[in-house]
Amino acid sequence: MINLAPFLSYVFVTSFTPGPNNIMSMTNANRDGFKKTLRFDFGVSIGFFIIMLACSYFNLLLFKLIPRIRTIMSIIGAAYMVYLAYKIYTSKTVEGNSNNTHINSLFTGVMIQFVNPKAILYGLTVASNFIVPYYKTHTALILFSLLLASIAFASTVCWALFGALFQKFLSKYMKAFNTIMSLLLLYCAIALFI
């Protein structure tokens, strides 16, 4: 059975920390308003679902072809989580807010997932460490992909909703926020081997 606390911690930290989806959602909402940004957020969710499903099936294939790959994938996943923890802890500002290339559409939301390294690495890590080792049915993989896409939608909507307010909060309490998020990611990495 899935280890729920590390799974939820990893999903929360990775989904709600700054990344291309959240930053674009926030800047789109600042520029175009919350309602107009929802189409982008729905696009993110659709694209994220496709990426999560693809990552789950890719990992399932690896687990069937190479049964001992779980240990290797756990090590890679833990290393990626430690790397993310380091990057979050050492980041000083929310990057990307001054980006002038604002595209606020469903299509952009979907397509950005296929060039978003954070989403792809997240999908590979969450599938290989938390889903595929415990659940291998098509129904389970689809349901987990829907759950993760829903969480991605919730995170982009939160960033859009709070827009400038959330940006001000993060800039004021960035070090504390980064420290907490980094520690949660380190916990997730360690929990893979407990």
* Residue 167 pLDDT: 58
- What pLDDT score does 46 carry? 97
Helices (H), the chain: 4-16, 20-32, 34-65, 69-90, 106-111, 117-126, 138-172, 174-191
Q: What is the pTM of this model?
A: 0.75
Distance from C-alpha of 162 to C-alpha of 30, rounded to nearest angstrom:
9
Give the whole-angstrom CA distance, residue 102 versus residue 23. Answer: 10
Count other Cβ atoms within 10 Å, centred on residue 184: 21
Backbone angles phi, psi at 39, to 5 degrees: -65, -40
The number of beta carbons lying within 10 Å of the beta carbon of residue 94 is: 18
Element (H, E) at 97: none
User: Which of 185, 166, 33, 191 minimizes the C-alpha distance to 102?
Assistant: 33
Residue 92 has what pLDDT?
A: 63
pLDDT tens string, the chain, 194 residues long: the values are 788 889 999 999 889 987 788 878 887 787 777 888 899 999 999 999 999 999 999 998 888 887 777 677 778 777 877 877 787 678 665 444 444 344 678 988 898 888 777 888 899 999 999 999 999 999 999 999 999 999 999 999 998 987 656 656 666 776 787 788 678 778 777 876 77
pLDDT of residue 131: 94
| Phi-psi group of 128: left, alpha or beta (phi > 0 → left; psi -120 to 50 → alpha; rest → beta) | alpha
Length of the chain: 194
